[in-house]
Amino acid sequence: MEDQQTNMPQATPNSGEDKTTAIIAYVTIIGFIIAIVLHGQKKTALGAFHLRQMLGIVVLGLTSYVLIFIPILGWIAMAVLGVINLIVWITGLIAAVNGEMKPGPILGAKYQAWFKNAFN
């Protein structure tokens, strides 16, 4: 029975301050900027992870905004990217509230790879 307990993944305890930075990152662009400042004062792996996720969401949002100016095809692409962005944002916020470093679906893992040197 003791062997089973050692094989179970252990949750890493995160302080409330770590979670605060991660959660604030998802609250609009102003929250993202505030989270960058907070992370600069106390760097944590959880904060860096969620800042990279939100950076990807912001970049994708700006990209989809540019596509709105292309008639029909751009509108369709913007709608698809908007839905993807919303899904990644919601799942990222839930992971931040739970103190987890879990990438969002679809593009979350790519955001971590693309921005791996950001916020270290």
Residue-wise pLDDT for 31-54, tens only, equals 999 999 999 999 999 999 999 999
Residue 2 within any structural domain of the chain: no
Instruction: Tell me the residue range of the domain where 40 lies.
Output: 16-114
Residue 56 within any structural domain of the chain: yes
pLDDT value at position 51? 95
Q: Do the beta carbons of residue 105 and residue 87 sit within 8 Å?
A: yes
pLDDT value at position 10? 37
Residue 9 within any structural domain of the chain: no
Claim: this prediction has a pTM higher than 0.85: no
Residue 23 within any structural domain of the chain: yes
Statement: residue 117 has pLDDT above 80: yes
- Count: domains in the chain: 1
pLDDT value at position 120? 84
Q: 10 Å Cβ neighbour count for 11? A: 9
Mean pLDDT of the chain: 86
Statement: residue 105 has pLDDT above 60: yes
Residue 72 within any structural domain of the chain: yes
Residue 10 within any structural domain of the chain: no
> Which residue type sits at 40?
G
| 29 burial via Cβ count (<10 Å: 0-12, 13-18, 19+) | exposed
Cα distances from 60 to residues 25, 77, 96, in angstroms, run 16, 11, 20
Nearest to 26 by CA among 97, 119, 101, 106: 97
Nearest to 42 by CA among 70, 65, 75, 19: 19
Residue 11 within any structural domain of the chain: no
